[in-house]
Structure 1
Amino acid sequence: MKNLLTDIAGVRVGHADDAALASGVTAVIFDTPAVAAIDIRGGGPGIREGAVLDLANTVEQIHGIALSGGSAFGLEAGGGVQAWLAEQGRGFAVGGALIPIVPGAICFDLSNGGDKAWGRFPPYRDLGYAAAVAASEDFTLGSVGAGLGATTATFKGGIGSASAATRGGVKVAALAVVNAVGSVTVGDGPWFWAAPFENGGELGGRGWPPQFTPEMLAMRIKGGAAATAVENTTLAVVVTDAALTKPQAQRLAMIAQTGFARAIYPVHAPLDGDVVFAAATGAKPIDPLAGLTELGMVAANVMARAIARGVYEATALPFPGALPAWKDRFG
């Protein structure tokens, strides 16, 4: 396993971004339609096609997911991913038409120093198309795609991913765009909140501090106590090769979202738009009670690791006053 979302067979990931814009798009493409659901915990989400994932609604499977910077402008990224899928002849059959189902979510990166004067139309639809074209089994982590302009309270954010398997061999993997209002590190030090779940030195092997002081536990958020804008989000996708129903996929998303609390402090704030998409490719049967519980447990750990890797692998933006990357300080 490569410790990536694409350790799940039939899943590919692609990035497209613009260095001057300091923003971009990440596309998750499913080679065959995947059962999917969503769980939203943040106070300021920006979602495309979220209603289609509601358990009461008809469509059960999706063809891709679009994650984007650009705040509400980035919702157009899903149209680019959808356009590429349509060119491949893939979609939900409605009469004689095929409609690719592409949910998505956005994070706010409009004040990170990049040039957002794009004219009449924002570039996110084209970036979404390019990200879908670029989708493959190997992809880069850190400050790329939807994570290019991402930040946290203390360090540069970015794209992270991780994977694992249950004792029975069911795989689960996560991808996160880390643009949280809170901090992924303990205080201002090198330690990650997700350190207990680290696998193979993927977070630098620093562990936790010898003790937690009141200063370490103090709130660190973008803008400090005067923060007022809804300008933050952690977007995540968790995928498994288990065979799940749509309600089971939503339960997986809900359990996996607990990984946010293991990696970000504070989390799920009114200033965040935290969301988790869960998808299942259906390759392996699973017990609906103990099996799904174990899968969710592993997924939450994988999610925490993916979030921490998004900060660990990030690089600073080349603008005055930009947040440092973790590796600039401790790498």
Structure 2
Amino acid sequence: MLDSVKSRQTDSRSRRRMRCSLGVGTAIALLAAQIGAGPASAQAATEAPRFDKHGTNNAITDVPGILVGQVTRNDPPFLTGVTAVYAPDGAVGGAIVPGGWPGSINVEVLQPGKNDQESHVMFLTGGSYFGLGSFSGIMRWLEEHGVGMNVGTDPLHVDPLVSGAVVFDLLRGGDFKARPDADFGYQAMENAKSGPVEQGNVGAGTGTRSGGKSLPLKGGIGTASVELDNGIIVGAITAVNAVGTPVDFSDCSLRAVDLAIGDEFGAYKSPSREECDAALEKAKIDAETGKPHANTTIGVLATNAKLDKEQVKQLAEAVSRGHGRAIDPIHLISDGDSYFTLATGEVTADDAQIQQIYAAAENAFARAIVHATLKATSVGEFVSYCDTFPSACGAQ
């Protein structure tokens, strides 16, 4: 085992030395292309690209080397959980925290200009600030498995870089102390695997909701991916717990369904006018007596491309744009919106391809929010989108 740990750490250091620094070149090339190409091309550059292929599982785990582990507790008095995104071989990490009321850990070290230590885990958790206790369980698991930056003479002397953020779901299962702790984090790592990712009322999305007082709906976990022609894959996972709404009140459709790749949203269609009017009338009445709630949309975006720290931060900015396409409003003072990004560095990307990656990140994150909303199921007072608008969902 120790030999394999040493080999993994050596390979990880080699990959780190090979990271490209294309941030400035990307900006210059894009600007030059727009200036030299004339108005028509400049107009085309502002149009959102369309994508026609997602990965095998349409999940963040389509990115090679990315695993997801989840812990779900919905047995009374619990209604909460943890979702961990694990890069066993390490990755360049980034993050932005645009929300006004975040709960997060190890965000600053991910910024450009800070130490270039590779990230191994980015986690999403319920429990508000208390949920950050799951961090210690994740760290314990990584230490036991010799994963992280070696800081001593023993291969097991590791100091992993783990980052994460919380959603507020306190008291949604009954007991105020029914929230994630270190054991949740440890078990999430034990459950980490590739392949299909469960969505809806699982992991950090177990006790989430969206819509605030405007149209309360059950939230959840959602994931999606984009596969580019050059072998680059971009995948996203999100826990939706927003004060904003994914619903377009003009017809009660979901905002980002137009970004669908193939038939990924199944038989979805806009709700009937009768269902829409009834839901909006009820929401109007409820808004007069309903209580505000703390809220957040958090997520992780991964790619197998080689990106530097400035570029993975720009990738997080693209995630923010995708969030804005699927939910409105975002980034309020009561939002804890936080996004994390990982680049595993397996595929070299030129300037044009990096622009594609940013666009794919925006698309994947928005679609992940749609999946979270459609896969969520009603729990108590938190009614799902599909139960609110049964004519819209069909077979999902």
Residue type of the alignment partner of 1:251: Q
- Show the counterpart of 1:143: 201
Alignment RMSD: 2.7
Of residues 276-285 and 224-233 in structure 1, the stretch that sits farther from structure 2 once superposed is 224-233
TM-score by length of 2: 0.75
- Residue of 293, 305, 308 corresponding to 1:245: 308
- Residue of 133, 147, 167 corresponding to 1:90: 147
In the alignment, does 2:58 pair up with 1:3? yes
Residue type of the alignment partner of 2:163: P
- Residue of 124, 128, 133 corresponding to 1:76: 133
- Residue of 233, 239, 243 corresponding to 2:296: 233
Residue type of the alignment partner of 1:76: G
- Residue of 146, 158, 182 corresponding to 2:220: 158
Q: 1:54 to 1:256 in 2, by over 3 A?
A: same
C-alpha separation in 2, matches of 1:5 and 1:56:
27
Q: Deviations over 1:254-306 (max 9, x none)?
A: 1121000110011111121111101001110001x322111101110111000
Q: Percent identity?
A: 35
Q: Is the 8 A contact 2:169 2:207 kept in 1?
A: yes
Q: Is the 8 A contact 1:198 1:205 kept in 2?
A: no
Q: Is the 8 A contact 1:191 1:206 kept in 2?
A: no
Q: How many residues align?
A: 321
As a proportion of its length, which structure holds more helix? 2
TM-score by length of 1: 0.89
C-alpha separation in 1, matches of 2:315 and 2:290:
32
- Residue of 68, 76, 90 corresponding to 1:13: 68
- Residue of 12, 25, 42 corresponding to 2:99: 42
Report the 3-state secondary structure (helix = DSSP H, G, I; strand = E; otherwise coil) of the residue aligned with 1:257: helix
- After TM superposition, list the pairs within 5 Å mapping 1:109-148 onto structure 2: 109-118=169-178, 123-137=180-194, 138-148=196-206
In our comparison, the structure showing a higher alpha carbon Rg is 2
C-alpha separation in 2, matches of 1:225 and 1:77:
37
C-alpha separation in 2, matches of 1:216 and 1:275:
30
Residue type of the alignment partner of 1:240: T
Report the 3-state secondary structure (helix = DSSP H, G, I; strand = E; otherwise coil) of the residue aligned with 1:244: coil
Q: Is the 8 A contact 2:117 2:149 kept in 1?
A: no
Residue type of the alignment partner of 2:346: A
Of residues 231-240 and 184-193 in structure 1, the stretch that sits farther from structure 2 once superposed is 184-193
Q: 1:201 to 1:247 in 2, by over 3 A?
A: same
- Show the counterpart of 1:296: 358
Q: Deviations over 1:107-136 (max 9, x none)?
A: 001142432335xxx542111111110111
- After TM superposition, give the deviation of residue 14 of structure 1 in Å: 1.0
Report the 3-state secondary structure (helix = DSSP H, G, I; strand = E; otherwise coil) of the residue aligned with 1:55: coil
